[in-house]
């Protein structure tokens, strides 16, 4: 009798402790996710898809075009993005780190993203993050470090509303 009561009480205690842990863990998770400082691990699982890019000239050309795309994209990003828009930007970078068509670059970029997860809370956060991550690559390749306080002047988002309305009929293709 007595041992079985003790076991019952212990079982109950265990159950309660596990339940509390589970509830705390879950609520903690929902507070910090989906866009905390920590990366969303979903798209890291598959690893790099592209093969190595041997030709240094092509590698540099691809890099310049891609950086232009990334900096222009963050300059176009909303000042106040929705949760869904934030997720889109985050996933874009995660997928880029798998599909970037220079495999050896992609592998390094994956490590960078793990250490410095994409910042998606606003246009400024995203632009500054992209500039900083580009500087990390510059650093590794022995290039000059760019002054990120000039990022807004350097990359024109092309988001001038008065001209847009005038252009809309010709650019609809």
Ligand X SMILES: Cc1cc2nc3c(=O)[nH]c(=O)nc-3n(C[C@H](O)[C@H](O)[C@H](O)COP(=O)(O)OP(=O)(O)OC[C@H]3O[C@@H](n4cnc5c(N)ncnc54)[C@H](O)[C@@H]3O)c2cc1C
Closest of 51, 132, 134, 40 to residue 95, by C-alpha = 40
Cβ distance to ligand X smaller for residue 125 or 137 = 137
Residue 105 interacts, among ligand NAG, ligand X, none and using kind-specific CB cut-offs from 5 to 8 Å, with ligand X
Provide CB contacts within 8 A for 13, sequence distance 6+: none
| Of the candidate residues 108, 121, 128, 152, the single one contacting ligand X (CB under 6 A) | 108
Residue 59 or 108: the one with the smaller Cβ distance to ligand NAG is: 59
Instruction: Annotate 47-78 with DSSP letters as a single string.
Output: ---SPP---HHHHHHHHHHHHHHHHHHHHHS-
- Dist CA 64 CA 80 (whole Å): 28
Q: How far apart are CA 3 and CA 10, in angstroms?
A: 10
Which of ligand NAG, ligand X, none does residue 166 bind (CB under 5 to 8 Å by kind)? ligand NAG
Per CB under 6 A, the list member of 35, 48, 75, 105 interacting with ligand X is 105
Please report whether residue 55 would count as binding ligand NAG according to CB under 6 A: yes
Binding-site string for ligand X from residue 131 to residue 150, where x marks contact by CB under 6 A and - marks none:
x--xx-xx--x-x--x----
Please give the residue ranges that form the binding site for ligand NAG (CB under 6 A). 55, 57-58, 160, 163, 166, 169
């Amino acid at each position: 009798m007595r041992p079985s009561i003790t076991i019952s009480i212990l079982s109950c205690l265990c159950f309660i402790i596990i339940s509390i842990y589970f509830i705390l863990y879950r609520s903690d998770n929902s507070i910090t996710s989906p866009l905390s400082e920590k990366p969303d691990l979903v798209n890291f699982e598959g690893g790099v898809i592209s093969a190595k890019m041997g030709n240094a000239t092509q590698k540099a050309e691809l890099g310049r075009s891609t950086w232009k795309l990334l900096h222009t994209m963050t300059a176009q990003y909303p000042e106040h993005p929705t949760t869904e828009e934030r997720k889109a930007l985050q996933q874009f970078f995660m997928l880029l780190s798998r599909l970037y068509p220079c495999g050896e670059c992609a592998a390094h970029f994956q490590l960078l993203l793990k250490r410095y997860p994409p910042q998606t809370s606003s246009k400024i956060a995203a632009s500054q993050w992209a500039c900083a991550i580009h500087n990390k690559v510059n650093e590794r390749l022995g290039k000059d470090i760019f002054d990120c306080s000039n990022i807004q002047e350097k990359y024109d988002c092309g988001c001038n509303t008065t001209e847009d309305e005038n252009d809309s009929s010709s650019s609809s293709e």
